[in-house]
């Protein structure tokens, strides 16, 4: 059974290049060179805004974390993990890869575009490598347009229709 949560016709693709995707790049601290650390920084790159977050290990990333980033307005999430046989937790990178694939499958099912979330594995990433990965992810999602969840959250906040989360409210 396939459930359509978004009407494909209602979401118009952006034809102009004015859209600057918000990209979150989550990376394992063990797969970057010492000078490649961009932890907890925001950068404005050519055609996108990027936030870099260092993880102790990519295996610490959960499905709910990826979905929460999208819900909070990220247009794309790029995960960077260790290469095979270089993960300090042995299979941490494989766990992360399975979780990323699960989220990609969910995004495909609800027609938001699996391209919004991706993972790359390697070793000795430099700062310029991480910047290039963020720019590349932005270029891949630019044709999808803004994340519809971002628009929905912004609309709710502007109209005051968002639940306050108080006990007893739905």
Residue 15, CA atoms < 13 Å, CB-side half-sphere = 1
Which one has a higher pLDDT value, 110 or 161?
110
Task: Convert the pLDDT of each residue in 35-64 to its tens digit.
Answer: 666 667 787 778 899 999 999 999 999 999
Task: For the chain, count helices (H), then strands (E).
Answer: 4, 5
- Tell me the whole-structure pTM to 2 decimals: 0.77
Q: What is the pLDDT of residue 9?
A: 46
Above 50 in pLDDT, residue 164?
A: no
DSSP 11: S
Average pLDDT of the chain, as a whole number = 81
Mean pLDDT of 6-22: 59
Above 70 in pLDDT, residue 11?
A: no
- Percentage of the chain exceeding pLDDT 90: 58
Which one has a higher pLDDT value, 55 or 9?
55
Task: Convert the pLDDT of each residue in 70-91 to its tens digit.
Answer: 999 999 999 999 998 888 888 8
Give the number of other Cβ atoms within 10 Å of residue 29's Cβ.
Answer: 15
Backbone angles phi, psi at 45, to 5 degrees: -105, 175
User: Is the CB of residue 133 less than 8 Å from the CB of residue 120?
Assistant: yes
CATH topology of domain 22-158: Rossmann fold (3.40.50)
CA distance 126 to 121: 13
DSSP 13: P
């Amino acid at each position: 059974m396939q459930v359509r949560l978004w009407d494909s016709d209602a979401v118009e693709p952006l034809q102009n290049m004015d859209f600057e995707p918000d990209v979150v790049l989550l990376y394992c601290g063990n797969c970057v060179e010492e000078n490649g650390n961009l932890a907890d920084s925001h950068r404005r790159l050519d055609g996108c805004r990027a936030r870099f977050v260092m993880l102790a290990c990519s295996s610490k990333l959960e499905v709910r974390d990826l979905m929460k980033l999208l819900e909070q307005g990220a247009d794309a999430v790029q995960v960077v993990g260790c290469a095979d046989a270089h993960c300090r937790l042995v299979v941490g990178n494989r766990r992360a890869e399975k979780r990323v694939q699960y989220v990609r499958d969910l995004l495909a099912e609800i027609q938001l575009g699996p391209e919004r979330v991706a993972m790359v594995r390697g070793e000795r990433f430099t700062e310029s490598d991480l910047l290039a990965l963020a720019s590349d992810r932005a270029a891949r999602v630019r044709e999808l347009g803004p994340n519809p969840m971002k628009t929905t959250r912004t609309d709710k906040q502007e109209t005051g229709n968002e639940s306050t989360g108080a006990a007893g409210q739905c």
